Amino acid sequence: MPGLIHTVATNILRFALLLALFGAGWSIYQRLPHDDPAGDRDPGAAGATTTLRLFLRPAANDRAPVGAASFQLYSIDVAAAQRQFDSEARRRFDPEQRVGIRFNDFLTRQMGKRQPVTGQFDERGEATVNVPPGKWWVHAEVNGTQQNITWRLPVNISGRERIVELTPENSYTRAKSF
């Protein structure tokens, strides 16, 4: 009889341990932030957008007219999409029919519901725009008097407000202007 009690007690403890592990995992999972990587939220829903504040900080010695600078926000990496388009274009192209799609149509299809957001910096180099949470790519360009600076910066947008500073240190390219 002691063997039977020992076996039953061991099985009950095994089951309790599995249940405790599952409960702990579920508790942790419930506390994780809820992402919406596909951007399927309703833009009109409460809390569905984040205020993104962009600050353009070109080099201190280069006084560029930042009020003329604009930016674009893309929900995908446009450079990666261009590479994918170029590699797939060879397979899609039929030399007999000369049929293909334009890159802009391909890009629109890749982005799905989250279309690009464009805006303009004010004379102080600041801009504010509301975007749905998720991963975005900031594209901006400033043509300064001494150098031209381009940004292609990935940004994770979440919460009520996100601040991004565009500086020469986090730029994609810097070229001397003539």
pLDDT for position 86: 81
pTM: 0.60
Architecture label for domain 50-75+112-176: Sandwich (2.60)
- Work out the angle between the directed axes of helices 78-92 and 103-111 (0-180°, nearest 10): 120
Q: Which two tokens stand for residue 135?
A: 């991963």
Contacts of 135 (CB under 8 A, 6+ apart): 37, 75, 154, 155, 156, 157
Tokens of 19: 């249940």
Per-residue pLDDT tens digits for 52-70: 999 988 665 555 556 568 8
Strands (E), 2-133: 50-56, 70-74, 117-120, 126-131
- Do the beta carbons of residue 57 and residue 113 sit within 8 Å? no
Q: Residue 41: what pLDDT?
A: 45
Split at pLDDT 50, 70, 90, the class of 95 is: low
